[in-house]
Amino acid sequence: MMSQRSEKPPCSVCGEVGNGIHFGAEACRACAAFFRRSVALHKEYRCRGMGNCDILSTIRCMCRACRYAKCLNVGMKKEAVQKFRDSYGKRGSDVECASTSNPMGFGFGYAPSSSSTSPLGSVEEGGMPILMTLDSNYSRLVEVRKVVHQLDGSSVFQPRLPRAVTYKEANQVSSKECDLVADWILNSYPGFADLAKEQKKILFRNFFLPFVILQGGHFAVEKKRNDVIYLASGDYIDCSHPETFYYDPDGRQLMSSEDAVRMFASSFSNYRRNVTDPMLRDEVDRMEFFALCSLVLFDTGLEGQSEECIVLSRRIREAIQREILYYYRNNRRIEDPSMRLANLLSLLPALQRATRRFQEDVEISHVFNVYSVDEKFYEMCNGRF
């Protein structure tokens, strides 16, 4: 089956496997649908770049203006589009990619928009604009981290060797991460900036700790290791020697590191069992990591959550699931995208179990002061915007 597909001429617009001649040029189903809809609905697009955006199968949705121009340049004819055909709705699997006509270079991705101008409506037509924006902004976040988590006396131009950290150092990393992750969220999701401040806090408060845990699993997949927990700084918690994590170099810990290990170290095996091992087994990739982050962030039924926030959360969750299915079909070429998505969603309950265990440890250590958890680390669960 795959060999037959690969023998077909490529789409002259995006390079995807072609689907025959459409409107005068070799095109895939997605580009043919895009051109037909654009002509039938008299669409007018504007490029926010220089008018020469790359149109490839993986990023063809990022600029509709340049995509439409390329359709014309390769020989597609507007007069070949049957008048009024398919002006409304979809036909079969023909999917028009949606975008903001933004070649990933306008501010930090999606500009803050009101509900009336939010690109969420166009997401329903296909493509993966939200995931692409998350990907672009996360790459910037990684670069910023190199400066924010820089050790005293070290240079950002020199490779940093990962090292095992203590709980105090891990707390400091998490505290710094709070603002960075909040900024990543604020600039990556359409409609999020329009929410009331308290609604943003509600979502972020529910999201940050699961994100830290989930991101550790993402790092484990990248490094192909489950014996350590990698942090955003590049350093790690040595799960094989938990006494190094609970060691207090200042000597102020009320509980010995050995006693702390006996009380809390089982959380490491819980984390491995619920997060790193399943993510390593399923080889959860970067886009799937972003999809999981989105589903955790835009939860519903949270205390104090407004109806507006619930509506936005549901719309983003639905959009993300459509986008990841699009990614499975068009990028990874997975035979059964629905089953892959089902397996991905099955990771969420396990993530919740690991999060609850972590929260219990933090709560115990704080209430009974069994070892000196930083107050800022404890309070950051409230989120900061």
The β-bridge partners of 229 are 237
Q: Where are the domains of the chain?
A: 1-106, 129-382
Confidence of residue 263 (pLDDT cuts 50, 70, 90): confident
One-character DSSP codes across 106-123: STTSSPP--TTT-THHHH
CA distance 369 to 362: 10
Fold of 1-106: Erythroid Transcription Factor GATA-1; Chain A (3.30.50)
CA distance 167 to 207: 21
Q: Tell me the average pLDDT across 78-103.
A: 48
Confidence of residue 222 (pLDDT cuts 50, 70, 90): very high
pLDDT tens profile 357-377: 888 887 777 665 666 556 666
Q: Which of 44-53, 106-115, 180-189 has the lowest mean pLDDT?
A: 106-115
Confidence of residue 137 (pLDDT cuts 50, 70, 90): very high
pLDDT tens profile 146-161: 888 887 666 667 777 8
Residue 179 has pLDDT above 50, yes or no: yes
The pLDDT assigned to 344 comes to 96
pLDDT tens profile 50-59: 888 888 876 6
Residue 254 has pLDDT above 50, yes or no: yes
User: Buried b vs exposed e over 235-273: b needs ≥16 C-beta within 10 Å?
Assistant: bbbbbeebeebbbbeeeebebebeebbebbbebbebbbe
CA distance 107 to 92: 36
Higher-confidence position of 182 and 258 = 182
The pLDDT assigned to 216 comes to 95
- Name the CATH architecture for the domain at 129-382: Orthogonal Bundle (1.10)
Q: Which of 48-57, 168-177, 201-210, 375-384 has the lowest mean pLDDT?
A: 375-384
pLDDT tens profile 265-311: 788 889 999 999 999 999 999 999 999 999 999 999 999 999 999 99
The pLDDT assigned to 167 comes to 83
Say if CB 359 and CB 209 are below 8 A apart.
yes
The pLDDT assigned to 156 comes to 64
pTM of the model: 0.65
Instruction: Report the percent of the chain where pLDDT is more than 70.
Output: 79
One-character DSSP codes across 317-380: HHHHHHHHHHHHHHTS--S-HHHHHHHHHTHHHHHHHHHHHHHHHHHHHHHS-SS---HHHHHG
Determine which helix (DSSP H) or strand (DSSP E) holds 163, and give its type and residue range. none
Q: Tell me the average pLDDT across 78-90.
A: 57
Q: Tell me the average pLDDT across 191-214.
A: 93
Higher-confidence position of 152 and 130 = 130
CA distance 35 to 149: 47
Confidence of residue 87 (pLDDT cuts 50, 70, 90): very low
Instruction: State the chain's mean pLDDT as an integer.
Output: 80
The β-bridge partners of 236 are 164, 230
Angle between helices 337-345 and 307-330 (to 10 degrees): 130
The pLDDT assigned to 360 comes to 82
Q: Tell me the average pLDDT across 13-17.
A: 87
pLDDT tens profile 37-80: 888 888 888 887 788 888 887 665 678 889 999 999 999 998 88
DSSP 8-class letter at 179: H
Q: Which of 334, 294, 331, 336 is nearest to 316 (CA)?
A: 294
Q: Which of 107-121, 199-213, 257-271 has the lowest mean pLDDT?
A: 107-121
What tokens does 38 get? 């654009």
Say if CB 16 and CB 72 are below 8 A apart.
no
Q: Which of 141, 171, 148 is nearest to 358 (CA)?
A: 171
Between the alpha carbon of residue 268 and those of residues 53, 63, 162, 216, 240, the distances in Å are: 46, 45, 19, 12, 9
The H-assigned helical ranges of the chain are 2-6, 29-40, 64-73, 120-123, 129-148, 167-186, 197-223, 242-245, 257-264, 266-271, 277-282, 286-297, 307-330, 337-345, 347-367, 375-379
Which residue type sits at 287?
Answer: M
Q: Which of 298, 291, 300 is nearest to 341 (CA)?
A: 291
Owner of token pair 């719309």: 315
The pLDDT assigned to 239 comes to 87
Q: 3-state DSSP call for residue 245?
A: helix
Q: Tell me the average pLDDT across 98-110.
A: 34
Q: Give yes or no on whether 1-106 and 129-382 have one common fold.
A: no
CA distance 207 to 381: 9
Higher-confidence position of 277 and 110 = 277
The pLDDT assigned to 319 comes to 95
Residue 257 has pLDDT above 60, yes or no: yes
Say if CB 94 and CB 161 are below 8 A apart.
no
Q: Tell me the average pLDDT across 86-113.
A: 36
